[in-house]
Structure 1
Amino acid sequence: MAAPTATSGSTRRIFISTGEVSGDLQGAFLVTALRQEAADRGLDITIAGLGGPRMAQAGADLVGDTTTIGSVGIFEALPYLLPTLRLQRQAKRALLAQPPDAVVLIDYMNPNLAMGQFLRQSLPQVPITYYIAPQQWVWAFSEKDSQKLVRYSDQMLAIFPAEADYYQRFGAKVSWVGHPLLDRYPVPPDRQEARQRLGLKADQPIVTLLPASRRQEVKYLLPTIIQAAQIIQKQCPDVLFLLPVSSAELQPAFDQALAQAQLPGRLVTPTAEYQPTDAIAAADVAITKSGTANLEIALMNVPQVVAYRLNPLSARIAYYLLNFKVAYVSPVNLAVNQAIVPEFLQWEATPAALATAALDLLQNSDHRQAMLAGYATLRQTLGEPGACRRAAAKILDQILGQ
């Protein structure tokens, strides 16, 4: 039986597949840019996909919410296998029922590899763009996955120069479009304005804690960061701690941890007056998990300390059996291949180590300035604002055969 084809009418359908909180954020940026680019071209589009509330708010029709099923690590992923498979089945049914004119895969490696394989087999006529490809260029366990990513992609849109170079070596049609967070932070926000919005004192020492966007991080990283905050508070009694809440699901754990530790602080949730990102912009220092947030913090010109912890057994398997050894894990350091921000991983991520590094940034102006200088280098490396529109233009060009 012949594969179904996309409608030939004036409305073009785009399907986006992504997961986790960071993917939802990047997906939302892309949805907005696609709608703007299509409007400029007089092109009518609809966007559906797998993502989260930000994508839905930007105008995507969600087939399923993938923001609550993300994980890092071998054992950490096990509870999410069945929910992920259910969402994949929902997405495949939707794709077969209404074949799109283009599919965009964003990060989310294993589910999107499965999606790419399905599309090649069931809807081979549908062009696939991989936007923000998995960071195989940093920690590929096997080149086979990289080869699959290239094989399933008609074009790849890279956000890091090293990412583009890596996939080109595998024969990908790849373009470097720059980093989409530059669209959000073309210039760093004003710290005092953020403090005013939050009703904070202009001169109070503020440390912002970003311990988790996944449930596993509540277990393995939140206690360590809270204990580090207790050490800081003992040495800096007038400090205030802020915890921005990116997921309502995690808010009770944050609230309980802050109360049990008896720390002077508050959770920052969205209101009409301010957003959780204001809690970062207002800070003197951030202690944060490794991830996309590191780049946001850097582009906001806030000094930071980076940490990450997994299930100890997952970490030992990765380190000793899979030989997972990389120079850096934070996107800030990866982008420039140098240590701009301190990283503390697994066994090195102790409360004392995090507190010492944060206090140093609070009290040593030379070290703060050195980090800010590194941020300036990073910003130059990430390209120019407009990445989302450049990506959107290439996706629409692909649909129109240009």
Structure 2
Amino acid sequence: MAKIMVSAGEVSGDMHAAAVLKKVKEKNDSIQIFGMGSSALREIGAEILIDPTKISTIGYIEALKNLKEHFKHLKEMKKLLRERKPDLVFLVDYSAFNMKLAKACSQEGIKAVNYFPPSAWVYNKRRADKMASYGTHIAAVFPMERDVYREAGAEVTFVGHPLVDIVEVEKTAAEIKKDLNLDQQKQVISLFPGSRRGEIESLLPEMLQAACRIKAEKPEIEFLLAAAEGIELEYLKSFTEKVELDLKIIQKKNYQLMQISEFIISASGTTTLEAAILDTPQIICYQAALTTYLLAKYVFKVEFVGLPNIIAGEEVVPELLQQDFEAEKITETALNWLNDKKELNKIKEKLQTVRHKLGGGGAVEKTADLLLREGGLKNSG
């Protein structure tokens, strides 16, 4: 029986891996899938032997706390590789771990495809050199990712970003406003303070102060607050109750909020890319520990933190970072945009270019076809 071993260590990676492997099974339902992942992979029938999502963390210090467990998982995956000899290994995100597994695949003479590979285009291009030396086939989702891995000598297929297919809104702005009981005539600005408590605590109070100032100048503006998955309403209310601002907290309608908003005020992250795909202008906010920021800015020489700007190679939307992230500067940018729609229209045009650079869609299917091809697995469809 044909076999694919999967290695996905985080919730997002588990979801991306499951979407691709579900498509693989539609094309060849005889393929056995096993390895490391979580609930999304289980739902498509994968045999999950290791679930590391509970110890997945953000940041170097946090990761060190679980280092022993990570190495245990790596040892188990290497053992699976030797004993079950898959036709192909599908590595998804989880860069530090999957780079070590890619090396093991090379040593065992087993082909590997890496989807959401190490971000060598941001820093440490040697990681691209290493993956190239292992013979890992890169399924690139970003154009700059494609370029840096090709320069390193890796075999690369540009599949594009899966969000291009996922991010869509079927309803009109008028229909969405009606569903949310909003005044059809009022302009909307939505706040997206992030999906982790740390960033919410860092960003939301200043965002709310800015919203109050904007409202004082433009009382006709309607403010909405997007509640990320897993963030309780009561927790968000503990922030909103401290300001004199009438705003609605909306759950599970992120794309709809982007669709009806003149622009959004957002934490840096995937949300900014989703908004870019919908041509929604944004003010990107970022505030990290000083050491993390200095490391990114001066050691790794990262010019931008916002994905739309990184992809465009220029500042398409403003970034308010560190000491520049303050209510006064958010307010100034917002009022300029509200008073001059030409600027917003220019941004929307540039965001269309960003979306175009993410590929023309079909990333999941292209990646599924790549797996079948690389593994020498017959497409029965």
Matched, 1:205 2:187: yes
Shift of 1:386: 0.7
**1:175-198 deviation per Cα after TM superposition (whole angstroms, max 9, x unaligned):** 111221111236886322332333
**1:134-180 deviation per Cα after TM superposition (whole angstroms, max 9, x unaligned):** 3322x31x333232233345200112222212111111011111221
Which residue of the partner structure matches residue 373 of structure 2?
Answer: 397
Matches within 5 A, 1:227-246: 227-246=209-228
Separation in 1 of the partners of 2:325 and 2:79?
Answer: 46
Change (3 A) 1:33 1:113: closer
**1:228-259 deviation per Cα after TM superposition (whole angstroms, max 9, x unaligned):** 22322322234333232333146554232122
Matched, 1:109 2:95: yes
Structure 1: gaps of 5 or more residues: 1-8
Aligned mate of 1:193, from 165, 172, 175: 175
Shift of 1:345: 1.6
**1:4-48 deviation per Cα after TM superposition (whole angstroms, max 9, x unaligned):** xxxxx25x344132436xx34xx5244234323432344444355
Does the 8 Å contact 1:210/1:243 carry over to 2? yes
What secondary structure is seen at the aligned counterpart in 1 of 2:288? coil
Matches within 5 A, 1:276-315: 276-315=254-293
Counterpart residue identity of residue 77, structure 1: Y
Does the 8 Å contact 1:208/1:285 carry over to 2? yes
- Deviating more after overlay: 83-92 vs 199-208: 83-92
What secondary structure is seen at the aligned counterpart in 2 of 1:306? strand
**1:250-282 deviation per Cα after TM superposition (whole angstroms, max 9, x unaligned):** 655423212223432232224xxxx34322223
Counterpart residue identity of residue 365, structure 2: R
Counterpart residue identity of residue 98, structure 2: N
Which residue of the partner structure matches residue 69 of structure 2?
Answer: 86
**1:308-347 deviation per Cα after TM superposition (whole angstroms, max 9, x unaligned):** 1111233235445x2x433322221222212221112222
What secondary structure is seen at the aligned counterpart in 2 of 1:396? helix
What secondary structure is seen at the aligned counterpart in 2 of 1:113? helix
Counterpart residue identity of residue 134, structure 1: P
Separation in 2 of the partners of 1:188 and 1:327?
Answer: 35
What secondary structure is seen at the aligned counterpart in 1 of 2:317? coil
Separation in 1 of the partners of 2:162 and 2:57?
Answer: 21
Aligned mate of 2:159, from 174, 177, 181: 177
Aligned mate of 1:348, from 301, 320, 324: 324
Does the 8 Å contact 2:9/2:52 carry over to 1? no
**1:331-366 deviation per Cα after TM superposition (whole angstroms, max 9, x unaligned):** 212222122211122222222112222233333210
Shift of 1:128: 1.9
Does the 8 Å contact 2:308/2:317 carry over to 1? yes
Separation in 1 of the partners of 2:270 and 2:20?
Answer: 20
What secondary structure is seen at the aligned counterpart in 1 of 2:332? helix
Does the 8 Å contact 1:103/1:127 carry over to 2? yes
Separation in 2 of the partners of 1:181 and 1:367?
Answer: 26
Instruction: Report how many residues are paired.
Output: 374
Does the 8 Å contact 2:9/2:56 carry over to 1? no
Change (3 A) 1:166 1:319: closer
**1:85-140 deviation per Cα after TM superposition (whole angstroms, max 9, x unaligned):** 5356346536635745433333343343344345556xx24432111223322x31
Shift of 1:57: 5.8
Does the 8 Å contact 1:30/1:388 carry over to 2? no
Matches within 5 A, 1:241-252: 241-249=223-231, 252=234
Does the 8 Å contact 1:244/1:277 carry over to 2? no
Separation in 2 of the partners of 1:186 and 1:67?
Answer: 30
Separation in 2 of the partners of 1:287 and 1:61?
Answer: 41
Counterpart residue identity of residue 313, structure 2: N
Which residue of the partner structure matches residue 386 of structure 1?
Answer: 362
Matched, 1:16 2:7: yes
Identity percentage of aligned residues: 24
What secondary structure is seen at the aligned counterpart in 1 of 2:148? helix
Change (3 A) 1:88 1:181: farther
Structure 2: gaps of 5 or more residues: none
Matched, 1:32 2:19: yes
Separation in 1 of the partners of 2:351 and 2:373?
Answer: 34
The TM-score with structure 2 as length reference comes to 0.85
Counterpart residue identity of residue 25, structure 2: A
Which residue of the partner structure matches residue 142 of structure 2?
Answer: 160
What secondary structure is seen at the aligned counterpart in 1 of 2:301? coil
Does the 8 Å contact 2:176/2:260 carry over to 1? yes
Separation in 2 of the partners of 1:250 and 1:89?
Answer: 34
Which residue of the partner structure matches residue 113 of structure 2?
Answer: 129
Change (3 A) 1:196 1:151: farther
Separation in 1 of the partners of 2:26 and 2:193?
Answer: 39
Which residue of the partner structure matches residue 310 of structure 2?
Answer: 334
Shift of 1:377: 1.8
The TM-score with structure 1 as length reference comes to 0.81
What secondary structure is seen at the aligned counterpart in 2 of 1:136? coil
What secondary structure is seen at the aligned counterpart in 2 of 1:344? strand
Separation in 1 of the partners of 2:45 and 2:221?
Answer: 40
Counterpart residue identity of residue 316, structure 2: I
